[in-house]
Amino acid sequence: MTTKISRRGSLQKIARSLALTTLGTSLSFRLEAADNALGPDLKGNINHSVCRWCYRVPLEDLCKAANEIGLQSIELVGPQEWPTLAKYGLTSALPWGADLGIPKGFNDPQYHDALIKKYEEVIPLAAQAGFKQIICFSGNRNGIDDEQGLENAAIGLKRLMSFAEKHQVTLVMELLNSKVDHKDYMADHTSWGVALADRIGSDRFKLLYDIYHMQIMEGDVIATIKKYHPYISHYHTGGVPGRNEIDETQELNYPAIMRAIVETGYKGFVGQEFIPKREDKLGSLKQGVEICDI
């Protein structure tokens, strides 16, 4: 009982802090951030975002760099960090804070109650912050076959759909490779994610098509995007092999991929999620944005 009250109190404090920070941000700063939203040279065809974890710099520094580069969003940040984004006039195209970690997902019924409890706590906070999506995961197989995992995940996620629809927040399941980075992860092919979306049958469930991960697992990136784009509400980048800079040192043609994404009519965000090898990490981030800004 004590833990439950503590968690609720903590979430309420986060919500109050978020509201106060957002309201307290000066009008002049927010207008300046809006004026600079596209940066000096960005074309506006792609909404640019960045995943926090892979750049390993303080959040405030990343926020400042985002404003300078022209990024509109910082992803994979939890509720405690959302007020900092608001301070810099940034959104989060894909926050987190409700999952149990990548291996423990909706494909295993033993985690359903805990996951649903956490998502029902965090989804209203995301909606209050103005965020439209939140990440979720299939989980690892752990001996569960893919068909049973598909059925389990659909049952668990359907329990959340009316709640997500009420708050107008979309649950976005990330497709990850199980060959290199996330051994045994179940949602490792686009077709599995599409089958899950069809079983759930709600516009509040979509897929995160991570270009790096899906190149490793199945290739055929542009054709897959063209075929399945109605199921996709977010994209991530990363150089193959190695998940480093997305420039000429790796095998993917990111300008061509971005053009294919734009041609589908996509209006969401593309998040840079590569691990820079260069000492100038934020310089690599700026280069990645410029490569994708077709």
How does residue 155 score in pLDDT terms, banded at 50, 70 and 90? very high
**What's the pLDDT tens digit per position in 22-45?**
434 333 333 344 444 445 579 999
> What average pLDDT does the structure give for the chain?
90
Mean pLDDT of 76-104: 97
Of 8-17, 32-41, 174-183, give the range with the top mean pLDDT: 174-183
Report which of residues 4 and 199 the model is more confident about.
Answer: 199
Position 29 scores a pLDDT of 36
pLDDT, residue 26, reads 33
What pTM did the predictor assign? Answer: 0.88
Mean of pLDDT values over 238-256:
98
**% of residues, the chain, pLDDT over 90:** 86
Q: pLDDT band for position 21 (50/70/90)?
A: very low
Residue 1 has pLDDT above 50, yes or no: no
pLDDT of residue 39: 53
3-state secondary structure labels for all residues of the chain: CHHHHHHHHHHHHHHHHHHHHHHHCCHHHHHHHHHCCCCCCCCCCCEEEEECCCCCCCHHHHHHHHHHHCCCEEECCCHHHHHHHHHCCCECCCCCCCCCCCCCCCCCHHHHHHHHHHHHHHHHHHHHHCCCEEEECCCECCCCCHHHHHHHHHHHHHHHHHHHHHHCCEEEEECCCCCCCCCCECCCCHHHHHHHHHHHCCCCEEEEEEHHHHHHHCCCHHHHHHHHHHHEEEEECCCCCCCCCCCCCCCCCHHHHHHHHHHCCCCCEEEECCCCCCCCHHHHHHHHHHHHCC
Residue 73 has pLDDT above 50, yes or no: yes
pLDDT above 70 covers a percentage of the chain that reads 86
pLDDT value of residue 171:
98
| Domain architecture of the chain: domains with CATH | 2-292 (3.20.20.150)
Specify the pLDDT at position 25: 39
Q: How confident is the model at residue 18 (pLDDT cuts 50, 70, 90)?
A: low
pLDDT at residue 83 in the model: 97
**Least confidently predicted of 32-36, 131-135, 138-142, 168-172:** 32-36
Q: Is the pLDDT of residue 19 over 80?
A: no
Residue 230 has pLDDT above 60, yes or no: yes
